[in-house]
Structure 1
């Protein structure tokens, strides 16, 4: 077993390896970035744990909405087909949005992917552990239940951290399922059966990783399909605008128009023979602004330069539903799914958000109380005894007003689960 662990550590980036050893050295789960691995000793008790979902902010709530509303299988037989009952009706979810450190997509632009990858593994550790901060108070509590599965509801986090998390979970010997959204998005492209070109709208970081073109091409190729032109456009602004971040003062429609135009130009540069038809919403925030994005492409087609370049009828691929389907299958195969009539240890879902830990010496804040931008993107990994953010219960007061409106109007199941 020691040889296996050593091999896993060698195959894992240094920052993930540091976290693996840190968690092992603090086996009681009391320290920051640690958890108690004994939580999964009882296989039957594990089945009754909640499912963890995380994103860099509230954009991952689009994935949670899909999980709460999916009805693609018969709950009694597990066969495909709707039965009028949500497929995860018996399950409960713990959602975490790393709001204080978002947008994740911008770290690669400043050569801080090493710190980003550490943040992503820390997100997983939080879901695995019992440690969380109260809304008010100076000390963390240890009453949050661990999870039996982790859904990476963030395209950038999947691109940079999926393998790190899987290797860490294997090294810890924790029987927890890990599912990411990128593979699901690629399957969504395959199932869309489009005949035109493919465009990926994502964050700067996700596009820099080239994970979507690579995964889409691989998925289509394995299915025996030809691979059309695939263009990308990475935005450093759209996700923040959707969340209502004051740093992005223009309207969501204005940012959507800018990114749609840039994607169309990137597609033109590939000298395609068919119009751009399939648009992958490669950031979990973007489905919240699907109408604005679609309107932007419609407006582009009114210009002579884009009329033949952009298809009149476009298909938007949202990886969230495919992710929900994959999680259902994974839970069923691992025999971790709750059966009709069984209950989770939670009566209702839990929601957490990270905020600056203002009492920590050395952190730098902007005028609105968030982490200073220069400070945020200059941090380096390895400081596991230092917490400049803390994870607290999510309340409506912590959601920007514009974002709260989007959640209320477009993610009704999540809004209801929030108790609003």
Structure 2
């Protein structure tokens, strides 16, 4: 399969150059948005580094769950097949959710994809560096280890930033693997052997990029399969509701019904000859609400307008597992995978979230202490000496109550890793 750039992103400008040069100018990693460039100088030590995973919030924890639980290969021989041992049992992970700047999917609607692209590369730089803030205090610390691989556990970030990050890693000449979820999602559709239409539920930004329809069409075409009707629906609300954002006060079920109805209407407008059968959960938050989404489609099927356009039994594609498989193969190919009996420099995983840096003069906050919406979506790239957010250890208080309940009930491996 051709790269994401060749197939999908030729029309997207990449603006990683400023951050590339900024990081090069601060090789000790002490400045904001920089990292210690000597961290990968020893190949053997690099293998023992953790793996970084990032998303715009907690939705990427669905990808981390897949990484923690995948058993698709024999750990000794690397051959396909389960052996009863998780494939990443020896590895440790650092998870980062850019909660202060979410939802990423809304930046395109206000013509701020340039700033979104900068945010995405900053996320990668955070994982590469040692710089992070403590839970309490205003000065950064430098005890977080760097990573040997970066998993972009965010569909919007993959669509708008995958090639920027790959370009940056190449320019910095560091042996770090970069894996995104969109290509994996398309391969998941192929593996599901769709017999009806395909619907994509994603953020507004992911849908605006048209990354999924083109990737799915390309994947099916290369495999020699016909391409069915593909419809998509971009939401500016569902991810925030799942996250527990106070700006979205209705229930998750209410938002899920709204988006399911909009997708069904978009699909019906294509005058399909087969019902909607495969639904891609094209935002990492959405698997946390799969039950509510499926219930919404079941209810819609009872309406005469949609009865013939929604399959009775639907297939949901979650790109997370395919992403985990791809990461395993890439680590093995690059000889960066820890072998049975070896250990990571981390005894257990680390979790970070971004929060407003309230001590910084000039930022604007809403009543609940989050970044003001107008302020958030009016920022421009290029101000690399200014930090209006900071990345701190994830604590229970930083997870909205309803989101914590979803993680506990539906992502048990992550919940255990969080020490809950």
**1:178 alignment partner in structure 2:** 178
CA drift of 1:271 comes to 1.2
**2:272 alignment partner in structure 1:** 272
In 2, the alpha carbon distance for the partners of 1:15 and 1:156 equals 16
**1:79 alignment partner in structure 2:** 79
- Unpaired segments ≥5 residues, structure 2: 1-10
Structure 1 residues 97-150: Cα deviation after superposition (integer angstroms, max 9, x where no partner): 000000000000000000000000000000000000000111100010000000
**2:353 alignment partner in structure 1:** 353
Answer yes or no: is 1:229 the counterpart of 2:229.
yes
CA drift of 1:12 comes to 9.7
**1:191 alignment partner in structure 2:** 191
CA drift of 1:13 comes to 4.9
Answer yes or no: is 1:126 the counterpart of 2:129.
no
Structure 1 residues 264-289: Cα deviation after superposition (integer angstroms, max 9, x where no partner): 00001111111000000000000000
CA drift of 1:14 comes to 6.2
Matched-pair contact (CA < 8 Å) for 1:12–1:167: no
**1:201 alignment partner in structure 2:** 201
CA drift of 1:36 comes to 1.1
CA drift of 1:37 comes to 1.4
Matched-pair contact (CA < 8 Å) for 2:50–2:146: yes
Structure 1 residues 326-377: Cα deviation after superposition (integer angstroms, max 9, x where no partner): 0000000000000000000000000000000000000000000000000000
- Unpaired segments ≥5 residues, structure 1: 1-10
Tell me which stretches of 4 or more aligned residues in structure 1 moved more than 3 Å.
Answer: 11-15
Residue 58 of structure 1: SS of its match in structure 2? coil
Residue 337 of structure 1: SS of its match in structure 2? coil
Residue 213 of structure 1: SS of its match in structure 2? helix
In 2, the alpha carbon distance for the partners of 1:12 and 1:264 equals 29
Residue 219 of structure 2: SS of its match in structure 1? helix
In 2, the alpha carbon distance for the partners of 1:273 and 1:16 equals 44
> What's the TM-score, normalizing by structure 2?
0.97
**2:147 alignment partner in structure 1:** 147
Answer yes or no: is 1:20 the counterpart of 2:20.
yes
Matched-pair contact (CA < 8 Å) for 1:15–1:381: no
**2:308 alignment partner in structure 1:** 308
> What's the TM-score, normalizing by structure 1?
0.97
In 2, the alpha carbon distance for the partners of 1:97 and 1:407 equals 14
Structure 1 residues 194-214: Cα deviation after superposition (integer angstroms, max 9, x where no partner): 100000000000000000001
In 2, the alpha carbon distance for the partners of 1:251 and 1:282 equals 20
In 2, the alpha carbon distance for the partners of 1:13 and 1:338 equals 36
CA drift of 1:161 comes to 0.1
In 1, the alpha carbon distance for the partners of 2:138 and 2:154 equals 30
Matched-pair contact (CA < 8 Å) for 2:14–2:163: no
In 1, the alpha carbon distance for the partners of 2:115 and 2:60 equals 21
**Superposition RMSD on alpha carbons, in Å?**
0.9
Q: How many residues align?
A: 410
Answer yes or no: is 1:169 the counterpart of 2:169.
yes
Answer yes or no: is 1:136 the counterpart of 2:124.
no
**1:390 alignment partner in structure 2:** 390
Answer yes or no: is 1:400 the counterpart of 2:400.
yes
Matched-pair contact (CA < 8 Å) for 1:13–1:164: no
**2:105 alignment partner in structure 1:** 105
In 2, the alpha carbon distance for the partners of 1:93 and 1:57 equals 16
Residue pairs, 1:192-341, within 5 angstroms: 192-341=192-341
**1:377 alignment partner in structure 2:** 377
Residue 40 of structure 1: SS of its match in structure 2? coil
Structure 1 residues 34-84: Cα deviation after superposition (integer angstroms, max 9, x where no partner): 001110000000000000000000000000000000000000000000000
Matched-pair contact (CA < 8 Å) for 2:14–2:164: no
Structure 1 pair 403/291, CA: closer, same or farther in 2 (3 Å)?
A: same
**1:8 alignment partner in structure 2:** none
Residue 15 of structure 1: SS of its match in structure 2? coil
In 1, the alpha carbon distance for the partners of 2:161 and 2:14 equals 13
Matched-pair contact (CA < 8 Å) for 1:200–1:281: yes
Structure 1 pair 227/13, CA: closer, same or farther in 2 (3 Å)?
A: closer
